[in-house]
Amino acid sequence: MVSRRRSAVRVFGLIALAMASLPGGFVPSLFAQIKDSLAGAPAGTWAGTGEFNAQRVPFRLEIAGTGDQLQGALINGKEKSPSSSGSYSEGHLLLHFDDYANTLDATLKDGVLTGTFSGHSRSIPLTARLDTAPLPASANPPDIAGTWEVAVKSPKGESAWDLHVRQSGAEVDAFIQRIDGDTGNLYGSWHDGQFAVSHFTAAGPSYFVLRPQPDGTLQIVTFSKGGTQALTARRPQDARSAGLAGPDDPLHHTTLKDPNQPLTFTFPDLNGKAVSSADPEFKGKVVVVSIGGSWCPNCHDEAPLLEELYRKYHNRGLEVVELSFEEKEQLANPARLKAVIRRYGITFPVLLAGTPDQLNEKVPQAVGFNFWPTTFFIGRDGLVKTIHAGYSGPATGKDNTNLRAEVNALVQKLLSGDEHASTVVGAAK
């Protein structure tokens, strides 16, 4: 490494002498290109933006190491999304995020990283510079801290989402809780009459605008390929006074057509071996069946809890099974799913159930069933006792802590044979 640096210094010295007579504007540009090419790696913290749904979403990228040993991580507040592998050579940076099948591919030129963050069916243009300070926030930010309810007409049947905001001066940290789970932490600050909150993780970017209104409500602007949508958020007491419905209960969103019939499945594991609910290893056991997909951030959040349950209670009679719904190319070669299994150290069976659009075809017994994850808790008698929709991830703080405790308590009760101590699901209306 030392000899390489000395060689680089000698090269720059010779080039400097040779180019002393060249036009002044040409030399700095050429030196920047040579420096970029000779550098072992663009180590440090880079800040920039990615263009997503016509919005410029900020991102921070931390890089360490050199050559084929390069490591990268997308930074969001105190959270890091590390790359699976990376490399840097002759100005070309490549970072793979295998557990989401995404790749950051960029070129370093004149001190600027330019490239794309791409994966399944999308490519997001990126630009970043080293050690760039964020823009200062505007003065006199309004106080929007606390809980809000966002009125929606969701295709999943929801009437409201929860919005939780933590605030320190002009800086906010927020998340939206839907029936399928939370958005993860969204960070932002007060600028020009609004809080633009976002994150850029291994799963990709997410971006919202929060605008305080004169009537005390909060306008929530969402962005998609189809354009923007403005939603209205109210304090929960104001939503009740207006006669608006609150967020759905995750324990009562999904039901069974006939709760007196067992939940059945037969799907192959990653080795092609068929695994069935009728197999002897499930008979007389408490079984947790989670419906997920390796593309689903909320399923990633749930995975450590499922593995924890399996390791903690397997010897007492608990089985955990993941029914994973993947895109066609992932079903043919489930590289992303394998990366998820490695990342979270999953040791319970993971089965390839089909593509996401086959959800209701493959699990026909459920009603109100159109999101990931959904988790079925089955008693020793083979009948479903509880269905939990979605997952409150680490971003939700105490909600995540409470959910983990409640799930552990439920599993313990089912293992003890206390079939009626859980929330028994009712028949579909």
Q: Is 291 helix (H, G, I), strand (E, B) or coil?
A: strand
Compute the C-alpha angle 151/182/376, nearest 5°: 105
Q: Quote the tokens at residue 127.
A: 């630009």
Give tens-digit pLDDT for 50-82: 999 999 999 999 999 999 999 999 999 989 999
Residue 24's pLDDT is 53
Looking at the domain assignment, is residue 236 inside a domain?
A: yes
Residue 272's pLDDT is 96
Quote the CA–CA distance of 122 and 116 in Å, as a whole number.
10
Residue 417's pLDDT is 86
Other C-beta atoms lying within 10 Å of the C-beta of residue 3:
7
Indicate the pairing of strand 55-64 with strand 350-354: unpaired
Say if residue 259 is in the same domain as residue 387: yes
Residue 142's pLDDT is 97
Answer yes or no: is pLDDT of 18 > 70.
Answer: no
Q: Decide which of 189, 210, 241 is a domain's last residue.
A: 241
Looking at the domain assignment, is residue 407 inside a domain?
A: yes
Confidence of residue 224 (pLDDT cuts 50, 70, 90): confident
Contact assessment for residue 253 and residue 274, using Cβ atoms and an 8 Å cutoff: no
Say if residue 171 is in the same domain as residue 44: no
Half-sphere exposure of 368 (CA within 13 A, CB side): 24
Half-sphere exposure of 415 (CA within 13 A, CB side): 17
CATH code of the domain in which 73 resides: 2.40.128.20
Percent of the chain topping pLDDT 90: 82
Give tens-digit pLDDT for 384-427: 999 999 999 999 999 999 999 999 999 999 999 876 655 544 33
Answer yes or no: is pLDDT of 157 > 70.
Answer: yes
Say if residue 393 is in the same domain as residue 370: yes
Average pLDDT over residues 124-144: 93
Residue 226's pLDDT is 78
Answer yes or no: is pLDDT of 14 > 80.
Answer: no
Contacts of 14 (CB under 8 A, 6+ apart): none
Say if residue 71 is in the same domain as residue 166: no
Record the pTM: 0.88
Average pLDDT over residues 297-324: 98
Residue appearing with tokens 């390839």: 352
Residue 219's pLDDT is 98
Say if residue 197 is in the same domain as residue 116: no
Confidence of residue 370 (pLDDT cuts 50, 70, 90): confident
Average pLDDT over residues 189-212: 97
Domain count, the chain: 3
Quote the CA–CA distance of 338 and 343 in Å, as a whole number.
9
Residue 181 to residues 12, 209, 302, 400, 411: CA-CA distances in angstroms?
Answer: 54, 20, 10, 11, 21
Mean pLDDT (the chain) is 90
Say if residue 189 is in the same domain as residue 152: yes
Residue 133's pLDDT is 84
Q: Decide which of 183, 218, 241 is a domain's last residue.
A: 241
Higher pLDDT, residue 1 or 82: 82
Quote the CA–CA distance of 40 and 32 in Å, as a whole number.
14
Q: Is 247 helix (H, G, I), strand (E, B) or coil?
A: coil
Half-sphere exposure of 333 (CA within 13 A, CB side): 4
Q: Decide which of 101, 130, 159 is a domain's last residue.
A: 130
* CA diameter of the chain: 89
Residue 9's pLDDT is 40
Q: Which of 4-8, 108-112, 335-339, 374-378 has the lowest mean pLDDT?
A: 4-8
Q: If you write DSSP's letter for every residue of 131-199 in order, what string do you get?
A: TPPPPPPPSS-----EEEEEE---TTS-SEEEEEEEEETTEEEEEEEETTEE---EEEEEETTEEEEEE
Quote the CA–CA distance of 313 and 301 in Å, as a whole number.
20
Say if residue 159 is in the same domain as residue 80: no
Compute the C-alpha angle 323/328/333, nearest 5°: 80
Quote the CA–CA distance of 52 and 57 in Å, as a whole number.
7
- Domain hosting residue 89, numbered range: 39-130
Say if residue 234 is in the same domain as residue 278: no
Say if residue 259 is in the same domain as residue 368: yes
Residue 23's pLDDT is 52
Which residues are 129's β-sheet partners? Answer: 47, 112
Say if residue 73 is in the same domain as residue 163: no
Looking at the domain assignment, is residue 270 inside a domain?
A: yes
Residue 427's pLDDT is 39
Give tens-digit pLDDT for 253-289: 999 999 999 999 999 999 999 999 999 999 999 999 9
